[in-house]
Amino acid sequence: MEFLAVNLLQAGYPDQVVLREIRFELQAGQFLAVCGRNGSGKSTLLRALLKLLPHLKGKIYLAGRDVFQLKAREIAALTAYVPQVTEPVFDFSVEEMVSMARYFHQPIFFTRLSEADHEAVREALFLTETDHLRHKSFNHLSSGEKQRVLIARALAQDSPLILLDEPSSHLDLNFQLQVYQLLRRLQKEKGKTILVTEHNLNLCLPYCDRLMFLKNGKIVASGQPLEVVNKRVLQEVFDLEVELRENSSTGLPEISLIHHRERD
Ligand code: ADP
C-alpha cells in the first residue's frame, strides 16, 4: 500500500519557489533517502510534507488522506518529524522532551498523561537506548545522544511515518552508523515508513529501499539504489566527477572522491 503520494508539488517561500514538479510515492514500511547538494530543497521538501510552508501547490496524500484537508494534529498522528540537532531548547529533561510527543494524543493540550502515554515514552527511551538519560537536561547531552532522544520523541508520537532531516549531521562515524542501524530496526521491527534527507550517500545507501536525488528543486533521479547510483547521475547531482567502488561488507557501490594533486 502506498503510504505517501506526492503529485506535482510546488513549494517554497514568499520570495522563492524552491520545489517544482515533485512527484513520488512511498510504500508503507519503505525507507526513502532524499539526497542532493546544499540548497537543493531537501529540508523544504520535509516542511512541505508537514504543510509548514507559506507557498504550497499540488497534491500530497498521507495514508490516502489529502494533507491539505488535515488539521495539524491529524498530520501529527500520521507523521513524526525529527529536526536537525542544532539549537538549544528550553531547559527540558530528556523525559520531558520525549513526553511532549504524547500531547498530540490528548483531547486538549496540557492534560495529564495516561499510563498508556507513560508506557509509550518508556518504550521509546528503551528502543533508542536513552532511558539512562531520562533525568538529564537535553541541552547537556552530546550530539549523538540528542539525536537519539529526538528519534525517541518521534517514536513516542507513535505515527507510522517518520521524517528525519539529516540525522547524521554533527555525529561522529560511530553515532552515524548507530542512528542508521536504529532506523533500520524501527523499519523492520516496528513497520515504520522512513524518509530521511541525507548528505552522506555512502552512509544511507545500505539502509534505504529507494533513493531520490534533488537538484535545484527538481527530482533528477529516483528509484532503487542500484538503479540510480552511477557516475553519470552523481556527476549531474553533485557537479563532480567521482569514482565508484564496491563496499566489501555490503557489495553496494560507494563513492570515492577524486583528489586532483597539482604537480610541483
Ligand atoms: P537543502 O535542505 O537541500 O540544503 P533547503 O530546502 O534548506 O535545501 O533550501 C532550498 C532553498 O530554499 C535555498 O535556496 C534556501 O536559501 C531557500 N530557503 C530555505 N529556507 C528558507 C526560508 N525559511 N525562507 C526563504 N528561503 C529559504
Handedness of CA 1, 33, 45, 171 (dihedral sign): positive
Q: Whose CA is nearest to atom 19 of ligand 1?
A: 44
How far, in Å, is the centroid of ligand 1 from the Cα of 42? 8
Q: At what angle do helices 173-190 and 143-157 cross, to 10 degrees?
A: 10
How far, in Å, is the centroid of ligand 1 from the Cα of 25? 23
10 Cβ below 6 A of ligand 1: no
Residue 144 is part of which domain span? 2-225
Q: Whose CA is nearest to atom 27 of ligand 1?
A: 13
Is residue 264 situated within a structural domain? no
Q: Whose CA is nearest to atom 26 of ligand 1?
A: 13
Is residue 61 situated within a structural domain? yes
Take residue 31 and report the three cell numbers written for it: 525507507
Is residue 259 situated within a structural domain? no
Q: 16 pairs with which residues across the strands? A: 13
- Distance of alpha carbon 245 from alpha carbon 205, whole angstroms: 13
How far, in Å, is the centroid of ligand 1 from the Cα of 166? 14
Amino acid making up residue 177: L
Q: Whose CA is nearest to atom 7 of ligand 1?
A: 43
Q: 246 pairs with which residues across the strands? A: 253
Please write the tens of the pLDDT for every residue from 102-138: 877 666 555 678 888 999 999 999 988 999 999 999 9
Is residue 71 situated within a structural domain? yes
User: pLDDT value at position 162?
Assistant: 97
Q: Whose CA is nearest to atom 1 of ligand 1?
A: 39
**Does pLDDT of 139 surpass 80?**
yes
Question: In total, how many domains does the chain have?
Answer: 1
User: pLDDT value at position 115?
Assistant: 87
Is residue 240 situated within a structural domain? no
Q: What is the largest CA-CA distance in the chain?
A: 71
Is residue 243 situated within a structural domain? no
16 Cβ below 6 A of ligand 1: yes
CATH of residue 49's domain is 3.40.50.300
- Candidates 58, 76, 75; CA nearest to 67 is 75
Please write the tens of the pLDDT for every residue from 192-245: 999 999 999 999 999 999 999 999 999 999 999 999 999 999 999 999 999 999
DSSP letter string, 28-52: TT-EEEEE-STTSSHHHHHHHHTT-
- Distance of alpha carbon 108 from alpha carbon 209, whole angstroms: 38
Take residue 87 and report the three cell numbers written for it: 539549537
Ligand 1 site-directed mutation target among 9, 42, 44, most atoms within 8 Å of CB: 44
